Structure 1
Amino acid sequence: MRSVQPAELTACDREPIHILGTLQPHGFLLALEGPDLRIVQASANLPDQPGCPADEAHGRPLHAVVPEIGAAITGVLTDQLGHDGAAYLGTLTLATGTGPRAYDLAAHRSGALTILEFEESAGEGGAAGSLDSLYPRLRAFIEALHGATKVEALCALLAADIRQLTGFDRALVYRFDRDWNGTVVAEDGNGVLPSYLDLRWPASDIPAQARELYRRNRLRIIPDAAYEPVPILPLMTPSTGEPLDLSQSVLRSVSPVHVEYMRNMGTMASMSVSILVEGVLWGLISCHNKTARRVPLQTRNACDILTQTFALQLAAKERGALSEQRLALGAIQARLLAFMAEEENFVEGFLKHPEDVLALTDAGGAAIVTGQRCHLMGRTPSERQVRGVYEWLSAQHGGEAVHVTDALGEEYPPARTIADTASGLLAISISEKYASYVLWFRPEVVQTVRWGGDPTKATSKDPAGGPDRLHPRKSFETWKETVQGRSLPWSVPEVDTAKDLRAAVLGIVLRRAEELAALTEELQRSNKELEAFSYSVSHDLRAPFRHIVGYAELLRSREGEKFSERGRRYVDTIIEAAFSAGTLVDNLLTFSQMGRNALNRISCDMNQLVEDVRRKMIRDIPLERAIRWQVGPLGRAQADPVMMRLVIENLLSNAIKYTRGRPEAVIEVVREADRDGEAVFCVRDNGVGFDMAYVSKLFGVFQRLHRVEEFEGTGIGLANVRRIVERHGGQVWAEGVLGRGATFHFTLPIR
Structure 2
Amino acid sequence: MSQANPDRPDLDLSSCDKEPIRFPGSIQPHGFLLALSPTLQVLQASDNLDDMIGADAARAIGQSLQAVIGEQAGLQLVPEIDAADIGQRPLYLCTLGIGPARHFDVLAHYYDALLILEFESVARASAADFRHLHRQVGDFLLKLTDTASTRTMSALAAQEIRRVTGFGRVMVYQFDDEGHGHVLAECRADDYPSYLGQRFPASDIPRQARELYMLNRIRLIQDADYTPARLVPALNPVTGKPNDLSFAALRSVSPIHLQYMRNMGTLASMSVSLMVKGKLWGLISCHHATPCTVAFDKRTACEQLGQILSMCIESREDANELQFRLDVRRIMVSMLAGLTQSADFIDNLSSVFPALLKFARAGGAAILFEERLLTYGDTPDEEAIRELVAWLDLHCHGDVFHTDQLAALYPPAAALAANSAGLLAMPVSRIHKHYLLWFRPEVVRTVEWAGNPHDKDGAPPAAQLTPRTSFATWRETITGTSAPWHGGEIELAIEFRSALLGIALERAEQMAELAEELGRANKELEAFSYSVSHDLRAPLRHIVGFSDLLLEPSANENLEKRQRFLRNIKDSARLAGKLVDDLLSFSQMGRAALRPTLIQMDDLVRSCIDKLALDIGARQVEWDIGTLPAMRADPTFVQLALYNLLSNAVKFTSQKERAVITIRASDEGAEWVMSIADNGAGFHMDYVHKLFGVFQRLHRMEDFQGTGIGLANVRRIIERHGGRVWAKGAPGNGATFYFSIPKELNI
TM superposition score normalised by structure 2: 0.63
- The answer as to 2:452 corresponding to 1:454 is yes
Q: Distance in 1 between matches of 2:101 and 2:595?
A: 101
Q: Distance in 1 between matches of 2:502 and 2:594?
A: 33
- The answer as to 2:393 corresponding to 1:368 is no
User: Larger radius of gyration, structure 1 or 2?
Assistant: 1
Q: Is the 8 A contact 1:38 1:59 kept in 2?
A: yes
Q: Is the 8 A contact 2:90 2:248 kept in 1?
A: no
1:87 to partner: Cα distance: 3.4
Cα distance, 1:503–1:210 mapped onto 2, change above 3 Å? farther
Cα distance, 1:414–1:164 mapped onto 2, change above 3 Å? same
Per-residue deviation, residues 554-607 of structure 1 (Å, max 9, x unmatched):
xxxxxxxxxxxxxxxxxxxxxxxxxxxxxxxxxxxxxxxxxx99989899xxxx
SS of equivalent residue, structure 2 residue 283: strand
**Structure 1 counterpart of 2:441, which letter?**
P
Q: 2:82 aligns with which of 59, 66, 74?
A: 74
Q: Is the 8 A contact 1:336 1:349 kept in 2?
A: no
Cα distance, 1:53–1:526 mapped onto 2, change above 3 Å? closer
1:372 to partner: Cα distance: 3.5
Cα distance, 1:51–1:135 mapped onto 2, change above 3 Å? closer
1:287 to partner: Cα distance: 1.0
Q: Is the 8 A contact 1:87 1:107 kept in 2?
A: yes
2:120 match: 119
1:362 to partner: Cα distance: 1.0
2:479 match: 484
Q: Distance in 1 between matches of 2:53 and 2:520?
A: 103
1:412 to partner: Cα distance: 2.1
2:554 match: none
Cα distance, 1:258–1:523 mapped onto 2, change above 3 Å? same
**Structure 2 counterpart of 1:25, which letter?**
P
Q: How does 1:71-470 map to 2 (within 5 A)?
A: 71-76=79-84, 80-83=85-88, 86-95=89-98, 100-110=102-112, 112-121=113-122, 130-133=129-132, 135-146=134-145, 149-341=148-340, 344=343, 346-369=345-368, 372-396=371-395, 398-434=396-432, 436-458=434-456, 467-470=462-465
Q: Is the 8 A contact 1:460 1:471 kept in 2?
A: no
Q: Distance in 1 between matches of 2:50 and 2:299?
A: 25
Per-residue deviation, residues 270-314 of structure 1 (Å, max 9, x unmatched):
111111112221111111111111011111111111121122222
Per-residue deviation, residues 364-391 of structure 1 (Å, max 9, x unmatched):
1122346734332221111222223323
SS of equivalent residue, structure 2 residue 339: helix
Identity of aligned residues (%): 42
Q: Distance in 2 between matches of 1:527 and 1:452?
A: 70
Q: Distance in 1 between matches of 2:170 and 2:271?
A: 9
Q: Distance in 2 between matches of 1:597 and 1:262?
A: 70
Q: Distance in 1 between matches of 2:467 and 2:378?
A: 45
1:42 match: 45
Q: Is the 8 A contact 2:97 2:125 kept in 1?
A: no
SS of equivalent residue, structure 1 residue 360: helix
Cα distance, 1:32–1:376 mapped onto 2, change above 3 Å? farther
The CA RMSD measured in Å over matched residues stands at 3.7
Q: Distance in 1 between matches of 2:53 and 2:18?
A: 43
Cα distance, 1:436–1:71 mapped onto 2, change above 3 Å? farther
1:509 to partner: Cα distance: 5.0
Per-residue deviation, residues 128-157 of structure 1 (Å, max 9, x unmatched):
973334544433321111266322221221
**Structure 2 counterpart of 1:103, which letter?**
D
Per-residue deviation, residues 40-95 of structure 1 (Å, max 9, x unmatched):
4332234599998542443456566563433442354xxx4445xx1322323153
1:227 to partner: Cα distance: 0.3
**Structure 2 counterpart of 1:452, which letter?**
A
Per-residue deviation, residues 328-367 of structure 1 (Å, max 9, x unmatched):
1111112223333555565544222011111111111122
Q: Distance in 2 between matches of 1:501 and 1:124?
A: 68
Q: How does 1:334-733 map to 2 (within 5 A)?
A: 334-341=333-340, 344=343, 346-369=345-368, 372-396=371-395, 398-434=396-432, 436-458=434-456, 467-508=462-503, 523-525=518-520
SS of equivalent residue, structure 1 residue 18: coil
1:24 match: 28
Q: Distance in 2 between matches of 1:601 and 1:306?
A: 67
Q: Is the 8 A contact 2:49 2:56 kept in 1?
A: no
Q: Is the 8 A contact 2:343 2:507 kept in 1?
A: no
2:61 match: 58
Q: Is the 8 A contact 1:171 1:187 kept in 2?
A: yes
Cα distance, 1:422–1:493 mapped onto 2, change above 3 Å? same
1:194 to partner: Cα distance: 1.0
SS of equivalent residue, structure 1 residue 266: coil
Cα distance, 1:49–1:165 mapped onto 2, change above 3 Å? closer
TM superposition score normalised by structure 1: 0.63
Q: Distance in 1 between matches of 2:592 and 2:252?
A: 80
**Structure 2 counterpart of 1:93, which letter?**
L
Number of residue pairs matched by the alignment:
521
1:99 to partner: Cα distance: 5.2
Cα distance, 1:217–1:517 mapped onto 2, change above 3 Å? farther
Q: Is the 8 A contact 1:222 1:271 kept in 2?
A: yes
1:646 match: none
Q: Distance in 1 between matches of 2:522 and 2:299?
A: 84
SS of equivalent residue, structure 1 residue 173: strand
Q: Which is worse superposed, 245-254 or 324-333?
A: 245-254
Cα distance, 1:207–1:54 mapped onto 2, change above 3 Å? closer
Q: Is the 8 A contact 2:153 2:309 kept in 1?
A: yes
